[in-house]
Structure 1
Amino acid sequence: MRAASAFSALALTLLLAVPAFAQSEEAVFERIETIQGDAEGFGEAFATLQEAFLVGDPAQTLADLANYPFEIAANGELYDIFAPEDLVDNFDRLISEDTRSALASQDYADLIVTSEGVGFGDGVLWMANICTDESCDETYWAITRITN
């Protein structure tokens, strides 16, 4: 009986050691589809963002994917970004190296999915599925906040 209790305790410890965010890409896709909608559209935006940080122009890509106006928390301050050029012209000051690294190495299976949107890098960047009108028949994915 003691061996069974010890085994049960060990099994429980091992289960608890698995990170809470461990999930499959399929589970993340389904969660995005259920909570935000248009998971395929998000996948396209995700690929565009990752490609930009790996081999493209991340400043312009972030600017192109943003929903204006939005906020960036950086350098202990909160900045209101009103237009793409605000982000592009100040990219090096507004987007930290840690944030750039987190975005470049983001794994789809580790995304955060909530009713507020999809979070990258433990919440350094948030995207949401934005409705184009009251009926919400058409939507697009956009960056809504960056927090360095």
Structure 2
Amino acid sequence: MVDEEMCDFIKCGLGNAGFEIVRPMGEVEHVRQIQSEKEVGILRAVNTGTVEVVRQMRKCELFHPYLPSATQVLLNLGLYPGLTESQIAEVLDNTLPSASFEPFFDIVLFDENAANAHGGTNGSKILEAETFVLIDVELRSLNTTMSLG
């Protein structure tokens, strides 16, 4: 079984080659919506890891009383104006192993850079008070690959 992104990639390639793509029906679709106990355990582990990563990032938090309240959300995640996309990615790379995750890739993009589906930027854009922040992280743990974000 492949994830939805890979499935879309395969369908696009087959469609471009002239194949007719048919969506699964009924029972097949229903089975895909049910997780086994093992899958539920993996999802719980991912959630636990996510919580730990957020806790570790909060240790980086700096208090800036002069910043607008909209920025407080970013501060609660340990993000504050002046950091670059690359610096936040580095924090993720250094934090995830403390939650027993091995970063496979992470994408941190600000504002218009977030429109580039998988980056392609140099990571130098600077976080400002009203910046849109996109974080996408793929992790390896428990002999599987997971995506957060």
Provide the TM-score with structure 2 as the length reference. Answer: 0.29
More strand, by proportion: 1
Return the structure number with greater relative CO, CA threshold 8 A, min gap 6. 1
Provide the TM-score with structure 1 as the length reference. Answer: 0.29
